[in-house]
Chain A
């Protein structure tokens, strides 16, 4: 236990300023999130006639009551700020990976202390494990706080929705934040171990972690596309189908008369829909003449992942990032074991 505390103290001292500044940043973001949670919950409690079931009010023919205009304007202003905070929550794991992961090994090599540190330790792998352990605990603890604050804030923004089965602000609340942080941290450590210089490692890890994030996002988008179901926006009688806001939108497009789905992007790229006309029943026509003749090109539809699958996709995203992080950690161990300490 004493040995573990010594290592933790040493790890803290070596990255004291980064840890303090990062903690300050996280505290600031979380404090702001909790402020808006409190404010928006208070507004909900004080003005239920204006703020309950807002979507239905907006979609009604008469709109919200005139007396609610000022309340709604204030609510939407708060929503603007919360959107910024949720975006910060999405970026926090990547930022922590860059700032705390990349210098972990790079600083030792850059500062010419790796030779001594690796000699004093029984094995380089043991040294790496002890150095990383403190940082992993620290980062995961910080991100867990951000994740929980994100959940509270999302619930305050959309109090009428069951967010346990809702893709609202996916990736900006809950488990994915923590898992992505773990993966990004390990990627940063790997980059730092390979490059061995602090500033270049930080800069390259920005690119590497960014590419990893983009790659996993695009990969999961393609995966989602393969598993998505088609949801029509209007039924056969031309009546609007209740829009399921909780589902994840994969793509908007058309349900063709033959039952096949055609995305808008594909329709435009292939020149299948040079013009687009739509009637009030959601039927799409390729020209004014087709509209007059009743030659329907398709019905408005979208590809979605149902809201019930939210826990499954959260787990999938988290597992992918943890696997990526584990692979990066393994690679970092190999690099540290084999590289020269200068």
Chain B
């Protein structure tokens, strides 16, 4: 507890900022999740995905608050870890207290373990509140979630944030200055968010999705076209067939039986947990590797 209290005192402002952002977003998400059933009850519709007339006119039953919530989640899941992780080492180095702190802790590894470990625990707990609220909101919108809002709810959000926090610790350890660490951390957060969009589905094999699977929030990996008789064709050929059909039947619409159709490939929503388990293993492994890198840097760098 002494170490945790000390860690909090050393980073009061960043922990306070993280708590404000995470708990604020969690409260907003919880309020939206609790409000949704009553809002939809006014439309007298049991299933949130049914048309609710004008409530859905602009694409969301909750309008701006829901959009702001997801936008906030998308920024906070990287910004909060950077703000928590980047100052861990620079705050000691810039104030020249590392020269005292490291010898007092008997070993630099022990110092890093409690210093970064305390911040990691606090950060993960705060982000978990956000993740739970996002999960509850997504669940309130539709019970069968599949890959909907993947990376912005539940375990996937927490593992991303934990990885970003430890990477921010590494950046701070390497650079040793607070503001440059924040700037570089921000840039790396952008890069990490792009990489994490590209990595899925982590080796899980894609299959052709059925119509039922398409409505269950699958993870799509590609599209293809088939001629009216089911033969696979390219996009250009599909466009040619469509234009010819429209020209032939104009001004009426041609029947579906003479038009090419598209098929999607991907992972069905029912297999979400398979991808989630693989992703969690990869991200936890990357987090451990980043932690090892942080330990290496701290063990070798000068304390000033």
**Contacts A18-B183, A200-B13; A268 near B57 (Cβ below 8 A):** yes
* Interface residues on chain B, number (Cβ under 8 Å): 23
Does B304 make an interface contact (CB < 8 A)? no
Cβ–Cβ contact A202 & B182, under 8 A: yes
> Digit string of B274-285 for contact with A (CB within 8 Å is 1, else 0)?
000000000000
**Contacts A21-B184, A103-B179; A199 near B54 (Cβ below 8 A):** no
Q: How far is the CB of A315 from chain B (nearest CB, A)?
A: 29
> Digit string of A6-29 for contact with B (CB within 8 Å is 1, else 0)?
000000000101100110010000
Cβ–Cβ contact A203 & B83, under 8 A: yes
Cβ–Cβ contact B54 & A203, under 8 A: no
How far does the alpha carbon of A264 sit from the alpha carbon of B180 in the complex, in Å?
Answer: 47
Cβ–Cβ contact A66 & B13, under 8 A: no
Residues of B within 8 A of A273 (CB): 54
Does B240 make an interface contact (CB < 8 A)? yes
Quick one: closest A residue to B17, CB to CB?
Answer: A203
**Contacts A17-B177, A18-B179, A66-B240; A274 near B13 (Cβ below 8 A):** no
Cβ–Cβ contact B54 & A17, under 8 A: no
Q: How far is the CB of B144 from chain A (nearest CB, A)?
A: 28
Does B14 make an interface contact (CB < 8 A)? yes
Q: State which residues 242-297 of B face A: CB under 8 Å.
A: 243
Quick one: closest B residue to A18, CB to CB?
Answer: B179
Quick one: closest A residue to B243, CB to CB?
Answer: A66
**Contacts A66-B243, A69-B236, A203-B14; A198 near B179 (Cβ below 8 A):** yes
Cβ–Cβ contact A276 & B57, under 8 A: yes
Cβ–Cβ contact B243 & A99, under 8 A: no
> Digit string of B215-234 for contact with A (CB within 8 Å is 1, else 0)?
00000000000000000000
**Contacts A69-B236, A268-B55, A275-B54; A17 near B243 (Cβ below 8 A):** no
Residues of B within 8 A of A25 (CB): 183, 187
Does B137 make an interface contact (CB < 8 A)? no
**Contacts A197-B13, A203-B14, A264-B57; A17 near B180 (Cβ below 8 A):** yes
Quick one: closest A residue to B175, CB to CB?
Answer: A17
Quick one: closest B residue to A20, CB to CB?
Answer: B180
Q: When the two chains form the complex, which single residue of B53, B179, B184, B240 contacts A274, counting CB atoms closer than 8 Å?
A: B53
Quick one: closest B residue to A267, CB to CB?
Answer: B54
Does B207 make an interface contact (CB < 8 A)? no
Q: State which residues 195-234 of A face B: CB under 8 Å.
A: 197-200, 202-203
Quick one: closest B residue to A63, CB to CB?
Answer: B243
Residues of A within 8 A of B177 (CB): 17
Q: How far is the CB of B221 from chain A (nearest CB, A)?
A: 19
Cβ–Cβ contact B179 & A99, under 8 A: yes
Q: Give me the 7 closest cross-chain CB pairs, A-B, nearest first.
A: A200-B13, A17-B180, A203-B17, A21-B183, A18-B179, A268-B54, A275-B53
- In the complex, besides A18-B179, A18-B180, A198-B178, 18 extra interface pairs with C-beta distance below 8 angstroms are A21-B180, A21-B184, A66-B239, A66-B240, A66-B243, A99-B179, A99-B183, A103-B179, A198-B179, A199-B87, A199-B91, A199-B178, A202-B179, A203-B13, A268-B54, A268-B55, A274-B54, A276-B53
Chain B interfacial positions (CB closer than 8 Å to A): 13-14, 17, 53-55, 57, 83, 87, 91, 177-180, 182-184, 187, 235-236, 239-240, 243
For this complex, 24 residue pairs linking A to B, each with C-beta atoms less than 8 Å apart, are: A15-B179, A17-B180, A18-B180, A21-B180, A22-B183, A66-B239, A66-B240, A66-B243, A69-B235, A69-B236, A99-B179, A197-B13, A198-B178, A199-B87, A199-B178, A200-B13, A202-B179, A203-B14, A203-B17, A203-B83, A264-B57, A268-B57, A276-B53, A276-B57
